[in-house]
Amino acid sequence: MDIYVTNDTKVVELGNCDTDHISLITLLHAFTEKQTGSDKVSSDDYSVWVYLPWCTEKKEVTSDSDLLQVFRWFSNHKEKKIMFEIEKKPYIPVPPITFSNIPNSHIRFMGDNQDLGFSDFEENLLNYKGDNEGAESDGCNSEEVIEANTVRADGGLDNDELGLDDEYGVVGQVASRRALAVVDEAENNVNFDLLEWYQSKTDDEFFSDSENENHDAKMTRVMKGNPFKQLVGIRIEFEVGQTHESVQSLRALLIDYAIQKGFNFNKVKNDRDRLTYACKENGCPWRLHASSLNGDTTMKIKTYKNEHTCHRIYKSEEARAKWIVSSAVYIHLKEDTSIFERIFVSFEAQKNGFMEGCRPFLGIDGCLLKGPYGGVLLSAVALDANNGLYPLAYCICKGETLLSWSWFLEQLHLFLKYPEDKPICFMSDRQNGMIGALKMHWPHASVRYCARHIYANFRITYSGLKLKKTVLKTSKCCEFHQFKKIMADIGSVDVKAKAWLEEIEPCHWSRHAFDPLIKCDHVTNNMTEAFNSMLKDFRARTFLSLMEFIRRMVMTRLQQRNEDCNKWKSDIPPTVNKKIVENSEESRILKILHVGEGKYEMMGLTRAYTANLLEKTCECGQWQISGVPCCHALAGIRHSYGFGSLYGTKDIIIQFIDPSLTKSAFLRTYSSMIHPIPDLCVWVDIEAAHVEPPALKRKPSRLKLLRKRESHEKPKVARSGSVVCEKCKQPGHNKRTCKANTIDGSNKRAANPRADVGASSSHHSNHQAKFDASFSQLPTQRHMAANLRVESSSSQPSTQVQTQPQSQVMD
């Protein structure tokens, strides 16, 4: 079993271990040795917790017996990875131990007062199966009766206390008289619901050592078998003796199992009393036979050969219209309460588009929600053939924790049914819990770190414009020797800055070390940031409003891009074609040396590069990483096929482009559709568990919708400028509020003192004065209208009708 340990934000891989020969001190010793590099046993105290993936909870491990019990749980669930969380305990002085300091100190011994036989009390104690959904066993009693010798000094839990039998058997007979104690119930009750998954796989579960059990009861237990219980997120597994409610439920499970494992059935027998299924591939030994129990509807697996010699198929005959659903939604509820915990949403159309047309590259990120319930939106965004955003899935949860990221990535892996042998890459910001969750649920995936976030952490200690340009240039470097040269330049500026960058493996942040099978050269996580910005004001609304906005946005985007693609005149997407044009312009300065068999040597201004057209490789590394021919490759293509291969017919150049960057891949991405959903007011009422919303989070300050920008980020560009009046040509006001307007209806020249500046002669001035005097005596319509307006407004304040300049009023 592979063991991982989280400490703060770091994830330490301890490797594979033998679960039958490990202790708590061995686990802590291996962890401290990995952390410090010293083999000395640490004297510090640690708290050890383990994450239970089947119930998304964590349990404290306090002793070796608890540790072995945890390993047995993981073995029963067929889990191959286990994640521990180790924290150092702070030093707290221990007060003197007195009787008043011991919890539940009020003990009443009843050893000699009552005769409690096995049939009266201990039989009920051994048959206790934990809390159920009924109201009678909700764990709210004020007292509980336990055996005095089952309380462990280390505070752990015995098997009897957990409702489990020793070594998966049944505890033998106990004496009829034993000292018992009645103690007050502790505050931290045992959560028996965490153990409801437990199923014994030994023969002891069918038989009991009790002498009171008759033969008929034993046979009933044997006939009952091992009931199958399906849990969300757990793979389906069959075994001999497993029972199912009906033949219909067993058929449905077999269909899901065949699609899960990737094979087709040969239904040898398929009636209401017998099921015999075999693998359809000739020579494959897989076979399952089940039949009903004594004419009952219960089906029991009698024969099961769990072995496949055939290869996995990716087109199942069982995935018919009745099985295929339009979306996958998993809602996780908090234990014992129907309070919303988290939700995962992804439509079948999104899944088909990603698996058939997109490159295996996903950006994952989380953004805070500003609504009344708070929370975080975790999202996974891909890129189509035209480098456009392709939202794949999202999850609404409480926060960015290891538990939330683990649940989201686990549901994403189960929904996609992603093959283990197919490469995939994740781009992340290294948020809390993200890297550890990727190691657990996507162990074969490559992980990239956003270069912008790396520089944001880098500039806290090492700032400067030169270092900024050099670091970003290093992340975009596609050739190893150039990468070494740039790192040497950083070392010449600051040796510690170079050492800081060398602590991060180049495969996480520099192009030259990226996986060439991904065919994507992105070094930032801007695609998820762009998706978060598309949510706009809906981040401040309720969860349902946000989910409806995302659904409608994705639904219309699928159809709109499908229509846009049909208008393309070329088989090369526009962004890819633009990149080819830019590279072809750079190839004009290269000197071409053809050596045969599609191999070239390109002489540039600074150095030479070699390219191989048959293998689609270039020494600069850009062609292998991006999937688009670089300038050196385009020069060789132009030499081999002529100038028209780049600007004439596109049939030649498309042969050298990766198939995931073509029009056909783009059409496959957007070939599916999301069907519209009727309005909420016409939904049919169904009987289902009522889900309560999470607690409201009201902050004392005003709600802030804009994100906090970092210190080195530029502020948002705002519109600036001043208004210029069209009349007086002065800034600060417009013609409607210009104070040059008059109230008595005089002409514009009289209202503007600068109107007479341009007079050229005294004759003209005298003539103008006479004209003004005679004109002022005429009862013009404007003058009459102004007087009428003043008289009609006499009851209003004078300031509302005063439009003269301030200088004229003072005069």
How do residues 714-727 score in pLDDT, each as one tens digit?
A: 666 666 677 888 88
More confident: 107 or 443: 443
Tell me which residue of 583, 584, 751, 570 sits closest to 661, measured CA to CA: 570
Q: What is the pLDDT of residue 484?
A: 93
Q: Which CATH architecture has domain 2-88?
A: Roll (3.10)
Where in the chain do CATH 3.10.20.90 domains reside? Answer: 2-88
- Give 174's pLDDT tier (boundaries 50, 70, 90): very low
What per-residue confidence (pLDDT) applies to 702? Answer: 64
pLDDT for position 192: 40
- Do 278 and 342 contact (CB within 8 A), yes or no? no
Q: What is the pLDDT of residue 704?
A: 62
Alpha-carbon distances, residue 521 vs 390, 499, 509, 517, 612 (angstroms): 17, 25, 10, 11, 20
What residues does 602 pair with on adjacent strands?
592, 609
Model pLDDT, residue 497? 92
Q: Return d(Cα 333, Cα 1) in angstroms, integer.
A: 29
The residues with which 269 forms a beta bridge, in sequence order, are: 276
Note the pLDDT of residue 779.
44
SS3 659: helix
Tell me the mean pLDDT in the region 154-169.
Answer: 38
Pairing of strands 242-244, 299-305: antiparallel
- Per-residue pLDDT, averaged over 778-795, amounts to 40
Directed axis angle between helix 64-76 and helix 24-36, to 10°? Answer: 90
**Do 511 and 520 contact (CB within 8 A), yes or no?**
no
Average pLDDT over every residue of 638-658: 74
Q: Are strands 81-88 and 425-428 parallel, antiparallel or unpaired?
A: unpaired
**Is the Cβ–Cβ distance between 425 and 362 less than 8 Å?**
yes
Q: What tokens were used for 55?
A: 């119930």
- Give yes or no for residue 759 having a pLDDT over 70: no
Smallest CA-to-CA distance from 542 within 340, 706, 699, 400 is with: 340
- Residue 181, pLDDT > 50, answer no
Tokens describing residue 360:
């295996």
Say how many Å lie between the first and final Cα of the chain, rounded.
Answer: 97
For the purposes of burial, counting CB atoms within 10 Å of the CB of 558, is it exposed (0-12), middle (13-18) or buried (19 or more)? buried
Answer for the pair 590, 632: CB distance below 8 angstroms, yes or no: yes
Chain centroid offset of residue 13 CA:
22
Cβ–Cβ < 8 Å for 236, 302: no
- Eight-class DSSP state of 724: B
What single-letter DSSP state applies at residue 676?
P
Among 202-206, 440-444, 737-741, name the most confident range. 440-444
- 50 pLDDT band, cuts 50/70/90, is confident
Angstrom distances, CA of residue 170 to CA of 147, 180, 195, 496: 17, 21, 16, 63
The better pLDDT of the pair 142, 359 is held by 359
Rounded to 10°, the helix 631-641/574-586 angle is 80
Query: Which of the two residues, 225 and 138, has the higher pLDDT score?
Result: 225
Please compute the mean of the pLDDT values over residues 134-142 and round it to a whole number.
Answer: 37
Q: Cα separation of 673 and 288, whole Å?
A: 38
Torsion of CA 167, 173, 177, 183, to 10 degrees: 30
- Tens-place pLDDT, residues 672-712: 999 998 888 888 888 877 888 887 766 666 666 566 666 66
Q: 666 — alpha (psi -120 to 50), left (phi > 0) or beta?
A: alpha
Q: Which range, 41-55, 233-247, 595-609, 649-663, has the best average confidence (pLDDT)?
A: 595-609
When pLDDT is averaged across residues 595-621 and rounded to a whole number, the result is 91
Span 532-587, pLDDT tens digits = 999 988 888 889 999 999 999 999 999 999 999 999 988 999 999 999 999 999 98
Q: Which alpha helices (H) appear in 394-479, and where do they start and end?
A: 402-416, 434-441, 451-458, 465-475
Q: How far apart are CA 586 and CA 599, in angstroms?
A: 19
Beta bridge partners of 299: 244, 292
Indicate whether 153 pLDDT > 50.
no
Q: b or e along 51-83 (b: 16 or more beta carbons within 10 Å of the residue's beta carbon)?
A: bbbbbbbebebbbbbbbbbbbebbeebebeebb
Residue partners of 643: CB distance under 8 A and separation at least 6: none
User: How far apart are the C-alpha atoms of 361 and 422, rounded to whole Å?
Assistant: 12
**Confidence class for position 45, pLDDT limits 50, 70, 90:** confident
Q: What is the mean pLDDT of the chain?
A: 74
352/416 Cα distance (integer angstroms)? 9
Q: Are the C-beta atoms of 427 and 363 separated by less than 8 Å? A: yes
Cβ-contact 353, 347 below 8 angstroms: no
Tokens of 391: 């939202």
Question: What would the mean pLDDT of 161-174 be, rounded to a whole number?
Answer: 36
pLDDT greater than 80 at residue 118: no
Tokens 């271990």 correspond to 17
**Weakest mean pLDDT among 354-363, 468-477, 787-796:** 787-796
Two structure tokens written together for 96: 């003197």
> CA 417 → CA 77, 233, 317, 351, 420, distances in Å?
19, 12, 16, 10, 9
Lowest mean pLDDT among 196-205, 247-256, 333-342, 410-419: 196-205
How far is it, in rounded angstroms, from Cα 743 to Cα 746? 8
Main-chain phi, psi angles of 83, to 5 degrees: -115, 120
659 vs 671: CA distance, rounded Å: 17
Amino acid residing at 644: G
Rounded Cα distance, 409 and 437, in Å: 7
From CA 281, how far away is CA 279, in angstroms rounded? 6
State the virtual CA torsion across 48, 53, 56, 62 in degrees, nearest 10: -20
Averaged pLDDT, 14-27: 78
The mean per-residue pLDDT over the stretch 173-183 comes to: 36
What pLDDT is attached to residue 659? 94
Closest C-alpha among 46, 51, 52, 54 to residue 84: 51
| CA dihedral of residues 515, 518, 524, 527 (deg, nearest 10) | -170
Order the strands of the 46-52 sheet from edge to edge. Answer: 10-16, 2-7, 81-88, 46-52, 57-61
Q: Which residue is associated with the tokens 């796989």?
A: 201
What digits encode the pLDDT tens for the residues 277-320?
999 888 899 999 999 887 678 889 999 998 888 888 877 888 77
Please report the pLDDT score of residue 476 as a whole number.
92
User: Which of 201-205's residues contact partners 24+ apart within 8 Å by CB, and which partners?
Assistant: 201/76, 201/168, 201/226, 201/239, 202/168, 202/169, 204/165, 204/168, 204/169, 204/170, 205/168, 205/170
In angstroms, rounded to a whole number, what is the distance separating the alpha carbons of residues 638 and 647? 10
What does the alpha-carbon distance between residue 146 and residue 142 come to, in Å, rounded to a whole number? 13
Average pLDDT over residues 149-156: 39
